[in-house]
A and B are shown apart, each in its own frame.
Chain A
Amino acid sequence: EPEVTQTPSHQVTQMGQEVILRCVPISNHLYFYWYRQILGQKVEFLVSFYNNEISEKSEIFDDQFSVERPDGSNFTLKIRSTKLEDSAMYFCASRPGTRATDTQYFGPGTRLTVL
């Protein structure tokens, strides 16, 4: 069964550094998402992406964040100048988008630790 994959599984970085989190959505899916989950807290929507552009974003998704689909398979989340409070699990998800009734499927997540 096809699945969303994410790399790396764990990323450790120093405060102020830039990180890029990578995701390979399910092939032929059209909608892509990034979510964040701080340890012990709820899953928070960051951004959705369709047709090579952002379709919705949350208040969390400020100028520090950017997303890109550099080729036909990868979907990346870049965090510039990381802060301690960016430490969280980051989940990528994709959705077929061929029917209004379809839903999204999540990857295993990348645990980001900012020191």
Chain B
Amino acid sequence: QKEVEQDPGPLSVPEGAIVSLNCTYSNSAFQYFMWYRQYSRKGPELLMYTYSSGNKEDGRFTAQVDKSSKYISLFIRDSQPSDSATYLCAMRPYNFNKFYFGSGTKLNVKP
């Protein structure tokens, strides 16, 4: 079983839609959870960072962590064409210096 599973998509939505992106994981030791956005041929850009369970909101983005289900989500409200990119989830255990990435979900927001 892979450490981190993420649906590769592609996910295509109309402008203004609410987007839901998800990852599941198998290692209960993961404590820190991140979402990155990656445009084509660019480096990943940190979007959201959460510790342990709960929600975190930043503008149009909301990150949720459910440790009991080993499931994390990123919600994008009022999606824009500029949100079209690949979204990567990443996570790591406490006091461990290695980050585990999902395979990325490609999102296309149509004008």
Query: Which residues of the partner chain A approach B101 to less than 8 Å between Cβ atoms?
Result: 42-45
Known: A89-B41, A91-B43, A109-B43. A42 touches B104 (CB 8 A): yes
A101/B51 in contact, CB under 8 A: yes
- Give the interface centre of A45, A89, A104, A105 by most chain B CB atoms within 10 Å: A104
Contact of A43 among B44, B97, B98 (CB under 8 A): B44
Please judge, given known A-B contacts A42-B103, A101-B51, whether A48 and B43 are in contact too, CB under 8 Å. no
Once the chains are docked, how many angstroms separate the CA of A103 from the CA of B95? Answer: 12
Q: How many residues of B contact A (CB 8 A)?
A: 24
A14 to chain B, nearest CB (A): 23
A43, B88: Cβ atoms closer than 8 Å: yes
How many contacts A-B (CB < 8 Å)?
53
- The reply on B75 being an interface residue by CB < 8 A is no
Q: Is the CB of A108 within 8 A of B43?
A: yes
Q: Which residues of B contact A42 (CB under 8 A)?
A: 88, 101-104
Query: Which residues in A have their C-beta under 8 angstroms from that of B32?
Result: 101, 103
A109 to B88, CA, bound (A): 16
| Beyond A43-B88, A106-B45, 8 extra complex contacts between A and B, CB < 8 Å | A42-B101, A44-B101, A101-B32, A103-B46, A105-B46, A106-B43, A108-B42, A109-B43
Bound-state Cα–Cα, A106 to B44, Å: 6
CB within 8 Å of B: which of A61-114? 89, 91, 100-101, 103-109, 111
Q: Which 7 A-B pairs have the closest CB atoms?
A: A106-B43, A42-B103, A43-B101, A48-B97, A56-B98, A55-B97, A108-B43
Query: What chain A residues lie within 8 Å of B44 (beta carbons)?
Result: 43, 91, 106
Contact B43 A104 (CB under 8 A): no
16 contacts between A and B (CB under 8 A): A4-B43, A43-B44, A43-B88, A45-B98, A45-B100, A50-B97, A91-B43, A91-B44, A100-B95, A101-B32, A103-B32, A103-B34, A105-B46, A106-B36, A106-B44, A106-B46
